[in-house]
């Protein structure tokens, strides 16, 4: 018998669950589904491999496969603004600014068979259905919607690797379930490379889908089981030659033909249904094989009890959410637990129940003592999400670091991941921030693997000379503007990352490496123009570029930000930066200006990923580079301004509505920022064990640590007016430096804030 690696003791848990609070009720997965949040409303388990969620559109349907920029809008496949649903697919990113996935779109229909989705303007032109939010329910682990065009109720729930559909049909002799293997997110360029489906019997099909999307080469295997035998089935091939060549006509391959292989396959399954008859479908995924998918299904959902699976999913969510028990006003309760939910749905499990997964080398590997994860949006998540995991999910974060090290071992480039998903790296964004995640986990004692090897992986990655200007950075201390469109972002981020490597080396007693990387970490100075006081691109000849506008984000050497924001990006040397900017007082003034300036529309228009509400003055919260900036007032001698700005951001950028997120949630980074800040502290420089203290927005929070201890926060007198910290104590001892250490948390204890409507400007 195959030894199973069980990440959640599901059965045991069911017994204990009744003692837990119902925190699921605060989770509103629809938050962020409108405008720029890019979250999805469907059902998923914590860190689940399956994200079973409705698609309201993907760009390909409207425009015959030609890119029109709309693909960005549908990163998560669902837009709250839309009026129709095309179906339910099994994989989704949460909050990303780039798209992919959307595997195995399934749609129940009644009446004349339609195998194209049709258009939103004419829902009747295809299999898509109208729907109304009135008939829609989205909860952690559960989604329900009425498909008005067919009078079908669709319900979804999920375990880690299995999605379960329950369709309540009307009476019909023409009930269908459509499986559109040509559908997908980021689908505009003939994304499918191959698909394969086999009908094992009249209730089970298996297969796989290979795509060349954002992930260059990605295969997802499935097993799909129906609660009721289909009476017939068929397929249609889109725009392609017959799948068999030569003597392929020996069977009719369009009707009841059980072995399909082609680039573009659409399938349908026919049923007779009685009024209110429920047809259920279990869809298990695997990165490795159909057999593993089937095994995952049998292991995770052995029966057909949809309600029990839903209950288990929500019990599992309650268990995870209970890691932090918060008391706050209703809006903050919803915001907090939705943020906690959004932070606990990525990275995602990328491993079968038998421990097998696909590696970066595209071969199958068996995880040795860890759960393999994927979907690492590291430019975003190194900042607050992984530090957050180091407090509330250290075991998982340990496994995530191990997954990143497996990535390093398995790719030919020998690099830690940049932005990776499904055994691929797409190298999205700047820096090599894996090293921050690795260093933070080691420094905080979370990583229990071979730390020397981990350090080596960081060093190798940071010396990949032909990657994005690293050679120049090493040789000259900066990247010439001629050599990279994002020369300054890169230099600043590399400098921070190098500092993180130095901290890791220090922890391991490697003084030489520490010294080398501390030196590299000072490279930020090479892009700091003392005269203008801004970070500024520098030419190969050492001169500052002349056409420089610190408001602009285009052609200025930055990515997802302008110099105004990036000039504060020295999280590891805040004192050095304050000093460079003319001392604490001038540093504070610069921060004041950032938060109060007006960003003209022309520059806002250049700012991707965020709504107008995602901006406060010139501070852009919807993008990540400035996430630490509100906390910099602590180093400017004006911590009360950190407190005020943090509370302002918490109120403005996070609202409990579908359009409540001011920018992409970015795989939980925005949510992690919310939770840290709402609890009153933030990791300004991951790799350091220190947190900067801000202003809590909750009344209290109790963190249940994996070591069995609890760390709680209490904010006495907290209100929307009392945003200032009059006094803060740790276990009764006064904190004067507005700093908290990770050890303070690990030891358990109590952080008590006394809140006030007036800033505490005294010593």
Pick out residues in 425-444 that bind a copy of itself (CB under 8 A).
Answer: 426-429
Positions of E strands within 388-474: 419-420
Select 187 or 677, whichever has its Cβ closest to a copy of itself. Answer: 187
| CA gap 621, 614 in Å, rounded | 6
Pick out residues in 360-399 that bind a copy of itself (CB under 8 A).
Answer: 361-364
Closest approach of a copy of itself to the CB of residue 484, in Å: 10
Structure token digits, residue 203? 């209730």
Closest approach of a copy of itself to the CB of residue 725, in Å: 41
Select 188 or 631, whichever has its Cβ closest to a copy of itself. Answer: 188
| CA gap 215, 227 in Å, rounded | 33
Q: Contact between 69 and a copy of itself (CB under 8 A)?
A: no
Select from 291, 474, 508, 551 the one that contacts a copy of itself (CB under 8 A): 291
Q: Contact between 557 and a copy of itself (CB under 8 A)?
A: no
Closest approach of a copy of itself to the CB of residue 186, in Å: 8
Residue 383, classed as helix, strand or coil, is: coil
Select from 51, 86, 109, 206 the one that contacts a copy of itself (CB under 8 A): 206
| CA gap 540, 662 in Å, rounded | 38
Select 7 or 203, whichever has its Cβ closest to a copy of itself. Answer: 203
| CA gap 221, 284 in Å, rounded | 8
Closest approach of a copy of itself to the CB of residue 608, in Å: 13
Select 29 or 469, whichever has its Cβ closest to a copy of itself. Answer: 469
Instruction: State the DSSP code for 334.
Output: H
Select 212 or 448, whichever has its Cβ closest to a copy of itself. Answer: 212
Structure token digits, residue 655? 């609202």
| CA gap 701, 718 in Å, rounded | 13
Select from 40, 127, 167, 214 the one that contacts a copy of itself (CB under 8 A): 214
Instruction: State the DSSP code for 2.
Output: P
Select 201 or 731, whichever has its Cβ closest to a copy of itself. Answer: 201
Select from 130, 137, 203, 210 the one that contacts a copy of itself (CB under 8 A): 210
Pick out residues in 321-360 that bind a copy of itself (CB under 8 A).
Answer: none
Select 113 or 261, whichever has its Cβ closest to a copy of itself. Answer: 261
Closest approach of a copy of itself to the CB of residue 473, in Å: 14
Whether the CA torsion 484, 487, 493, 498 is positive or negative: it is positive
Closest approach of a copy of itself to the CB of residue 468, in Å: 5
Instruction: State the DSSP code for 61.
Output: H
Closest approach of a copy of itself to the CB of residue 466, in Å: 6
Select 219 or 645, whichever has its Cβ closest to a copy of itself. Answer: 219
Select from 84, 290, 343, 611 the one that contacts a copy of itself (CB under 8 A): 290
Closest approach of a copy of itself to the CB of residue 568, in Å: 25
Select from 5, 8, 14, 261 the one that contacts a copy of itself (CB under 8 A): 261
Number of residues counted as binding a copy of itself (CB under 8 A) = 49
Pick out residues in 231-260 that bind a copy of itself (CB under 8 A).
Answer: 241, 243-248, 250-252, 258-259
**Secondary structure of the chain: what % helix, strand, coil (to 5)?**
30, 25, 45
Select 14 or 364, whichever has its Cβ closest to a copy of itself. Answer: 364
Residue 182, classed as helix, strand or coil, is: coil
| CA gap 673, 744 in Å, rounded | 20
Q: Contact between 551 and a copy of itself (CB under 8 A)?
A: no
Closest approach of a copy of itself to the CB of residue 511, in Å: 32
Binding map of a copy of itself across residues 445-474, x = CB under 8 A, - = no contact: ---------------------xxx------
Select 112 or 245, whichever has its Cβ closest to a copy of itself. Answer: 245
For residues 489 and 563, is the Cβ–Cβ distance under 8 A?
no
Which residues in 201-215 are b (16+ Cβ under 10 Å) and which e? Answer: ebebbbbbbbbebbb
For residues 127 and 109, is the Cβ–Cβ distance under 8 A?
yes
Identify the H or E element spanning 440: helix 434-443
Closest approach of a copy of itself to the CB of residue 215, in Å: 9
Look at residues 384, 286, 477 and name the one whose alpha carbon lies nearest to residue 674: 384
Select from 76, 85, 140, 199 the one that contacts a copy of itself (CB under 8 A): 199
Closest approach of a copy of itself to the CB of residue 261, in Å: 4
With CB under 8 A as the contact rule, which of the stretches 15-23, 198-206, 270-278, 301-309 interacts with a copy of itself? 198-206
Closest approach of a copy of itself to the CB of residue 444, in Å: 30
Q: Contact between 13 and a copy of itself (CB under 8 A)?
A: no
With CB under 8 A as the contact rule, which of the stretches 103-111, 187-195, 743-751, 754-762 interacts with a copy of itself? 187-195
Specify whether the backbone of 697 is left (phi greater than 0), alpha (psi in -120 to 50) or beta. alpha
Pick out residues in 75-104 that bind a copy of itself (CB under 8 A).
Answer: 98
With CB under 8 A as the contact rule, which of the stretches 209-217, 509-517, 673-681, 751-759 interacts with a copy of itself? 209-217
For residue 533, the tally of other CB atoms under 10 A from its CB is 16
Residue 81, classed as helix, strand or coil, is: coil
Which stretches within 223-329 are classed as H helix? 290-300, 306-321
Closest approach of a copy of itself to the CB of residue 75, in Å: 12
Closest approach of a copy of itself to the CB of residue 312, in Å: 29
Burial (CB count within 10 angstroms: exposed 0-12, middle 13-18, buried 19+), residue 493: buried
With CB under 8 A as the contact rule, which of the stretches 211-219, 321-329, 603-611, 695-703 interacts with a copy of itself? 211-219
Q: Contact between 73 and a copy of itself (CB under 8 A)?
A: no
Query: In sequence order, what are the residues at sequence separation of 6 or more whose Cβ sits closer than 8 angstroms to the Cβ of residue 398?
Result: 370, 441, 446, 447, 448, 449
Write phi, then psi, for 23 (nearest 5 degrees): -95, -20
Write phi, then psi, for 487 (nearest 5 degrees): -60, -40
Closest approach of a copy of itself to the CB of residue 363, in Å: 5
Closest approach of a copy of itself to the CB of residue 429, in Å: 7
Select 379 or 753, whichever has its Cβ closest to a copy of itself. Answer: 379
| CA gap 47, 425 in Å, rounded | 19
Chain centre to alpha carbon of residue 372: 16
Structure token digits, residue 30? 């629809």
With CB under 8 A as the contact rule, which of the stretches 273-281, 286-294, 636-644, 655-663 interacts with a copy of itself? 286-294
Query: In sequence order, what are the residues at sequence separation of 6 or more whose Cβ sits closer than 8 angstroms to the Cβ of residue 456?
Result: none
Which residues in 552-583 are b (16+ Cβ under 10 Å) and which e? Answer: bbeebbbbbbbbbbbbbbbbbbbebbbebbee
| CA gap 589, 214 in Å, rounded | 42
Whether the CA torsion 586, 589, 595, 601 is positive or negative: it is negative
Structure token digits, residue 109? 């229909």
Contacts with a copy of itself, residue ranges (CB under 8 A): 98, 189, 193-194, 196, 198-200, 206, 208, 210, 212-214, 216-217, 241, 243-248, 250-252, 258-259, 261-263, 289-291, 361-364, 411-413, 419, 426-429, 466-468
């Amino acid at each position: 018998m195959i030894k199973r690696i069980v990440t959640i003791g599901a059965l045991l848990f069911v017994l204990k669950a009744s003692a837990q609070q119902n925190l699921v009720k605060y989770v509103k997965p629809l938050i962020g589904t409108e405008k720029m949040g890019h979250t999805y409303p469907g059902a998923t388990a914590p860190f689940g491999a399956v994200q079973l969620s409705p698609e309201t559109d993907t760009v390909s349907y409207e425009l015959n496969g030609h890119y029109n920029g709309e693909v960005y809008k549908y990163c998560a496949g669902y837009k709250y603004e839309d009026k129709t649903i095309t179906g339910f697919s099994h994989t989704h990113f949460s909050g990303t600014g780039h798209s992919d996935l959307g595997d195995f779109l399934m749609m129940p229909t009644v009446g004349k068979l339609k195998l194209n989705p049709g258009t939103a303007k004419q829902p009747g032109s295809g299999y898509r259905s109208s729907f109304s939010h009135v008939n829609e329910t989205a909860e952690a682990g559960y989604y329900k919607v009425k498909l008005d065009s067919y009078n079908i109720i669709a319900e979804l729930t999920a375990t880690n690797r299995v999605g379960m559909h329950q369709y309540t049909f009307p009476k019909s002799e023409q009930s269908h379930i459509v499986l559109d293997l040509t559908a997908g997110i980021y689908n505009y360029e003939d994304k499918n490379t191959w698909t394969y489906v086999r009908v094992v019997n009249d209730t089970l099909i298996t297969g796989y889908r290979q795509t060349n999307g954002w992930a260059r080469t990605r295969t997802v295997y499935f097993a799909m089981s129906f609660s009721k035998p289909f009476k017939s089935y068929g397929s249609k091939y889109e725009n392609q030659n017959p799948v068999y060549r030569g003597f392929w006509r020996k069977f009719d391959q369009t009707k009841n033909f059980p072995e399909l292989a082609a680039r573009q396959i659409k399938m349908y399954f026919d049923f007779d249904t009685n009024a209110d008859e429920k047809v259920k479908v279990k869809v298990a995924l695997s990165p490795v094989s159909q057999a593993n998918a089937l095994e995952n299904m049998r292991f995770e959902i052995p029966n057909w009890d949809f309600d029990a699976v839903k209950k288990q999913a929500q019990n599992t969510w309650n268990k995870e959410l209970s890691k932090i028990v918060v008391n706050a006003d209703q809006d903050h309760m919803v915001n907090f637990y939705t943020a906690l939910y959004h932070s606990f749905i990525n990275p995602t499990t990328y491993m079968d129940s038998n421990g097998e997964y696909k590696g970066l080398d595209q071969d199958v590997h068996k995880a040795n003592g860890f759960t393999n994860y994927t979907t690492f949006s590291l430019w975003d998540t190194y900042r607050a999400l992984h530090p957050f995991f180091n407090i509330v999910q250290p075991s998982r974060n340990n496994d995530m670091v191990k997954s990143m090290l497996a990535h390093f071992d398995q790719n030919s480039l020998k690099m830690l991941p940049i932005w990776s998903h499904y055994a691929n790296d797409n190298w999205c964004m700047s820096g090599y921030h894996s090293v921050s995640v690795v260093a933070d986990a080691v420094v905080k004692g979370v990583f229990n693997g071979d730390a020397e090897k981990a350090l080596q992986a960081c060093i190798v990655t940071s010396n990949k000379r032909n990657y994005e200007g690293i050679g120049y950075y090493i040789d000259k201390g900066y990247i010439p503007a001629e050599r990279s469109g994002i020369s300054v972002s890169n230099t600043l981020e590399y400098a921070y990352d190098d500092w993180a490597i130095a901290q890791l080396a220090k922890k391991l007693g490697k003084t030489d490496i520490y010294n080398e990387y501390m030196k590299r970490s000072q490279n930020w100075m090479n892009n700091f123009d003392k005269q203008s006081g801004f970070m500024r691109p520098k030419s190969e000849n050492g001169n500052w570029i002349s056409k420089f506008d610190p408001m602009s984000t285009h052609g200025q050497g930055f990515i997802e930000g302008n110099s105004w924001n990036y000039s504060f990006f020295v999280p590891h040397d805040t004192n050095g930066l304050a000093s460079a900017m003319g001392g604490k007082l001038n540093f504070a003034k610069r921060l004041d200006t950032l938060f109060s300036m007006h960003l003209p529309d022309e520059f806002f228009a250049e700012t991707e990923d965020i709504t107008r509400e995602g901006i406060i003055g010139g501070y852009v919260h919807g993008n990540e580079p400035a996430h630490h900036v509100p906390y910099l007032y602590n180093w400017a001698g004006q911590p009360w301004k950190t407190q005020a700005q943090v509370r302002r951001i918490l109120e403005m950028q996070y609202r409990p509505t579908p359009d409540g997120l001011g920018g992409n949630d970015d795989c939980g980074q925005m949510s992690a920022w919310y939770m840290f800040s709402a609890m009153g502290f933030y990791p300004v420089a991951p790799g350091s064990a220190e947190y900067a203290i801000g202003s809590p927005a909750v009344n209290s929070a109790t963190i249940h640590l994996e070591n069995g201890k609890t760390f709680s926060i209490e904010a006495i007198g907290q209100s929307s007016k009392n945003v200032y910290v009059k006094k803060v104590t740790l276990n009764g001892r006064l904190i004067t430096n507005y700093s908290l250490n990770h050890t303070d948390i690990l030891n358990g204890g109590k952080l008590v804030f006394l809140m006030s409507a007036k800033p505490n400007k005294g010593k």
